[in-house]
Structure 1
């Protein structure tokens, strides 16, 4: 009788640095330690947005993506500093070298988080939980920083697990407990379910994974579009997406749908500064420089426009992205038209020639 060979259970680790930018600043500057620290745009003038906040600042309700002026209102004695991306990138590279001691199957998501597939690890340790402990220990000893880790058999569950015991957490969710765990998980905790979708789900009486599980796949697709198929799978603990160390990149972008429509230029720029910083991080991780910057705007009536500008030199600074996006928004801004979504992307990584738009007109691209 021919023996049945079952496929190996994957061993996935999700590593997420704790309050990364703020922790680096507190490490490098003793005067910031133990104090509410906000890294991002300064609250003066037009004001920017919070990139990240120390755990001391989070106690006052300060969160990433929040306008810096609002953060100052919540904590008047908070310290505000601008990001030092060159330093964060250097630290991130060191962290990547630590990962490589155990596996080459590394999929970075940003400067401060990544998936690792350690099903077959370089040191033949065999235990994903033990490898996660060793990585956390190395980060603490070599960089004087803390990371949280989630360990499971797929990417989705590992990512949720890494967020459960922050900071300096380590959470393992084994195969036998995944489905029950997903049933009890609130819908707003599902990675990929944003505020708007979570609100829609709760209005439909869908509060937990167990509620989602009651719907057929075709019903989820009807209510939520193509992503409904993903919800159907992950609520059952099924996620077959591989850890992808490399993939061809044609554009790098980020976008956000807002819980309430934006009306003013200032509100939109605050959000676009935050989004632009996310795009810059992704460019740094992929070591890419793009010449074409595109702004995407979707209005409350779901009408969508894009505006783009091709620059003579590749973009290598966050400030250049923000400045260009501000120019594009200035051109596209329509008084009194509520905006529900904004996005920023960079492209034109490989082309040597720059396509110029007619004077005063930005070309329209479909990059999202």
Structure 2
């Protein structure tokens, strides 16, 4: 086994930026420091929605997803700004550059958090000293606060980073799990959403400790393989490596099919695209990934071949969404000539387990009107203390949640010297 993928004696950091958007704005304009600040959809309109807020604003009761009018009632002197995603992406790039200057084993998770494996960094000092140095450097160079969790694996490091904010550093050792982790409510466990928590409660599992001691067969019957995985993590077992290449592991998933005869029949061509989209969706489901780019290939009767792709507003995974994009691409670029082969490929794939999405400002307000999603966002905000959500399992055809977190910036810190 590759040394850096060893699961024994590892030292893992989880670096989590504090109130990231608001902190970046304060770093850009120091006059905002110490003031209650919120990033909101449309500061000029009362119906705007809070995207994130500073700790000063949170102290007044201002919360993510809160209507702007309510936030102003709670905090009349609230400073409200529109989000500046290019500014946040640039800050994120520099954060990961600093992290990678300590160790090459950096795994970005989202625009404002990532894992580091510092097992081989003993020459830089003790883990706590390395964390203090990293935290100080990010604060000194970028004027941005962060919290760092230190643990022997990714799950425990993630849990540790949430224990002290802002500007906290927390060490969580396996021997401390019964004392520090097990008493926490099951909803506080990373990887346990509202639906999973409700299911676990049917087994009388109310705390992380209850989960750690639960019967694995009952858990697998209830949650499948994820039940066993969650039990292992509740016991401090998480063999996942910090893998800098994980974001690139899944390049694409595609299927193509040659017709038994060349055809220009639009109905037949659409049927083939639907079949191909279904196959791609099935493979994506098995690999537990979503995609943000769809590509089609058209090979004509004379073997002339073209490929066309479309970058999506949101990550998709089901056959209907894939087919809709594929057929639109096809009808936009098909010459009307007979086709010999068609192909559909899902590109820019991301593992669902690791995907943490930032809300797109405009669709955010549209989606927040839906009570179920509103509650989910509020729940996750309270749980993680940051502006992340998971994509709902179903939503209106005209509704979507987009993201300012695109994978292209993950490479930036590696290539900029």
TM-score (norm 2): 0.59
Match status 1:100 vs 2:100: yes
What is residue 161 of structure 1 aligned with on the other side? Answer: 160
Q: Distance in 1 between matches of 2:96 and 2:108?
A: 9
Alpha-carbon distance in 1 for matches of 2:94, 2:33? 22
* Shift of residue 49, structure 1, vs aligned partner: 3.7
Tell whether 2:123 aligns with 1:118: no
Do the aligned partners of residues 345 and 248 (structure 1) sit closer, same or farther apart at CA in structure 2, a change above 3 Å counting?
Answer: farther
Q: Within 2, Cα distance between the matches of 1:207 and 1:12?
A: 28
What's the counterpart of residue 249 of structure 2? 248
Aligned Cα root-mean-square deviation (Å): 3.8
CA contact (8 A) 2:40 2:80 kept: yes
Number of residues of Structure 1 aligned to a counterpart in Structure 2: 285
Q: Distance in 2 between matches of 1:131 and 1:233?
A: 28
Q: CA deviation at 1:151?
A: 0.1
8 A contact 1:182–1:236 mirrored in 2 = no
Give unmatched runs, 5+ long, in structure 1. 1-5, 252-281, 284-288, 299-303, 328-338, 350-368
Aligned to 1:230: 229
Secondary structure in 2 aligned to 1:191? Answer: coil
CA shift at 1:208, angstroms? 1.0
* 1:93-127 Cα deviation digits (max 9, x unpaired): 22112112210111111121110011112x72252
Find the aligned partners of 2:216 and 2:317 in 1 and give their Cα distance: 31
Q: 2:16·2:113 contact (CA, 8 Å) conserved in 1?
A: yes
Query: Relative to 1, partners in 2 of residues 1:203 and 1:39: Cα closer, same or farther, differing over 3 Å?
Result: farther
Q: Which residue of 1 aligns with 2:86?
A: 86
Q: Closer, same or farther in 2 for the Cα pair 1:290/1:39, shift >3 Å?
A: farther
In the alignment, structure 1 residue 135 sits paired with structure 2 residue 155? no
Matched, 1:13 2:16: no
Change (3 A) 1:48 1:245: farther
Tell me what 2:170 maps to.
Answer: 171
CA distance in 1 between counterparts of 2:320 and 2:149 reads: 39
Aligned mates of 1:97, 1:47 — CA distance in 2: 38
For the residues of structure 1 that align with 2:229 and 2:10, how far apart are their CA atoms?
A: 19
Please report how far the alpha carbon of residue 340 of structure 1 lies from its aligned counterpart in structure 2 after TM superposition: 6.8
Label 1:203 to 1:229 Cα distance change in 2 as closer, same or farther (>3 A).
Answer: closer
Tell me how far apart the structure 1 counterparts of residues 196 and 7 of structure 2 sit (CA, whole Å). Answer: 35
How far apart, in 2, do the equivalents of 1:97 and 1:167 lie? Answer: 21
Instruction: Determine which of 303, 307, 311 is the counterpart of 1:291.
Output: 311
Q: Deviation at 1:27?
A: 2.3
Q: Radius of gyration: which is bigger? A: 2
| Cα distance in 2, alignment partners of residues 324 and 168 from structure 1 | 31
SS of the residue corresponding to residue 149 of structure 1 reads strand
- SS in structure 2 at match of 1:42: coil
Q: Which runs of 5+ in 2 are unaligned?
A: 1-5, 253-290, 293-308, 333-346, 348-356, 367-391, 408-417
Look up the match of 2:218.
Answer: 219
Decide whether the 8 Å contact of 1:47 with 1:68 is kept in 2: yes
CA distance in 2, matches of 1:293, 1:91: 22
The structure with the largest helix share of the pair is 2
* Contact 2:41–2:361 under 8 Å retained in 1: no
2:251, 2:402 → 1: CA distance?
10
Task: Map 1:1-368 onto structure 2 (within 5 A).
Answer: 8-42=8-42, 47-121=47-121, 124-202=123-201, 204-246=203-245, 247-249=248-250, 291-293=311-313, 306=321, 308-309=324-325, 341-342=394-395, 344=401
Whole-Å separation in 2 of the counterparts to 1:60 and 1:196: 30
Give the C-alpha shift of residue 34 in structure 1. Answer: 2.0
Contact map agreement 2:13 2:117 (CA 8 A) in 1: yes
- CA, structure 1 residues 30+129, in 2 after alignment: closer, same or farther (shift >3 Å)? closer
Matches of 1:47 and 1:295, distance apart in 2? 27
Residues in 2 aligned to 1:41 and 1:165: alpha-carbon distance in whole angstroms: 29
